[in-house]
Structure 1
C-alpha cells in the first residue's frame, strides 16, 4: 500500500486546480502547469484538497499512485513557491556571468560556453562562482542543472568542475614518486 498516495495534496488559497478527464492543470501566482495523470489513477478535488485513488488493483496502478500524487504536489508547490537549484564553480579561472538572459561560463576550455535558458527557467549569478537556476517546474530545473554540470563535472584529483551546492567530491590520491 502506498503511503505517499494516501496523502491528500493541500491546495493553498490563490491556486486554482482544473481537472479535465485525466489532465490536471494547476494555476497559481507564479504561473501555470499541467500534467496528464495515468489512466489507472483517478483525481478528485474535495474542497481545498486533491485526492488520488487507484481505479483497479494492478501493479502498474500501485506504482503510478504515489508517483502521480508527488508530481501533482510538485506542481502545486511550483506555482506557489517555485524551485531553485544552486551550482558552484570550483577551479582557477572558472567563472560565470550573464549575457542578457543567457548564461556564459568560462570553464577552462579555449572558448566560453553559452547556455540559453529553456522556456520557464531563469539564471542568476550572485557571485562569479555561483549559478542559481530557478523556475516553477521541478523536473525542468533539475534537468537544466544536470545539463550544466555535465559540461564540466567535478574531477576526483583536484576537485575542479561544476558541482551542486553542498556536493561532496571524493578525492583520489595523485601519483607517487
Structure 2
C-alpha cells in the first residue's frame, strides 16, 4: 500500500482543476499545467480534493499510484508557489551574469560559457556569485540547475565550482611531501 498515494491532494483557494479521463489540468495564479496519467490509476475530483486510486493490485499499478499523486501535488504547488533552486559559485574570477535570455558564465575556461535558458524557467543573478532558477515545473527547474552546475561541479580539494546553496562538499587534503 502506498502511504503517499492514500493522501488526497487539496486545492488551495484560487486554483481550479479539471479531470477528463486520465488527464488532469490545473490552473493557478502562476500558470496552467496538465498531466496525463497511465491507465493503472483512477483520478477523481470531488469539490476541491483530488484523489488517486490504483486499478487492481499489480506492482505497476501500485508504483503509478504514488507517483501520480506526487505529480498532481507538485503541479498544485507549481501553479501556486512555484519551485526555486539556488546555486552558488565559488572560485577566484568565477562569476555569472544574465544578458537577455542567455546566462554568461566565467568559470576559468579560456572562453565564456553561454547557457541558453529554456522557456518555462526564469534564471536571475542577484549577485555575480549567485544564480537563482525558478519556474512552475519542478523537473524542469531541477534539470536546468543541474545543467548549469555541470559546467563546473565543485571539486574536493579547493572547493571551487558551482554548488547548490547549502550543499556540503567533502574536502580532501592535498599531497604531502
Same fold (TM over 0.5): yes
Cα RMSD of the aligned pairs, angstroms, is 0.7
Distance across 1 between alignment mates of 2:136 and 2:168: 27
Give, in angstroms, the shift of residue 38 of structure 1: 1.4
Superposition pairs of residues 161-176 of structure 1, within 5 angstroms: 161-176=161-176
Secondary structure of the structure 2 residue equivalent to 1:39: coil
Shift of 1:21: 1.4
- Any residues of structure 2 matched to 1:55-134 within 5 Å, and which? 55-134=55-134
Query: In 1, distance between residues paired with 2:25 and 2:78?
Result: 12
Where does residue 28 of structure 2 map in the other structure?
A: 28
- Per-residue deviation, 1:29: 0.7
Counterpart CA distance in 2 for 1:153 and 1:8 is 39
Q: How many residues align?
A: 177
- Unpaired segments ≥5 residues, structure 2: none
Any unmatched runs of 5+ in structure 1?
none
The residue that corresponds to 1:14 in the other structure is: 14
Note if contact 1:97-1:103 (Cα within 8 Å) is conserved in structure 2. Answer: yes
- Map of 1:44 onto structure 2: 44
- SS of match in other structure, 1:166: coil
Write the deviation string for residues 67-98 of structure 1: whole angstroms up to 9, x where unpaired: 11011000000000000100000000000011
Deviation at 1:101, TM superposition (A): 2.5
Provide TM-score, normalisation by structure 1: 0.98
Partner Cα separation in structure 2 for residue 44 and residue 18 of structure 1: 9
In structure 1, what is the Cα distance between the partners aligned to 2:97 and 2:145? 16
1:13 Cα deviation after fit: 1.7
Post-superposition CA distance 1:118-155 (Å, at most 9, x none) = 11001111111000000000010001101111111001
- Provide the C-alpha distance between the structure 1 equivalents of 2:89 and 2:119, rounded to a whole number of angstroms: 24
Distance in structure 2 (CA, Å) of the matches to 1:42 and 1:128: 48
Partner Cα separation in structure 2 for residue 159 and residue 29 of structure 1: 40
CA-CA distance at 1:50 after TM superposition: 0.2
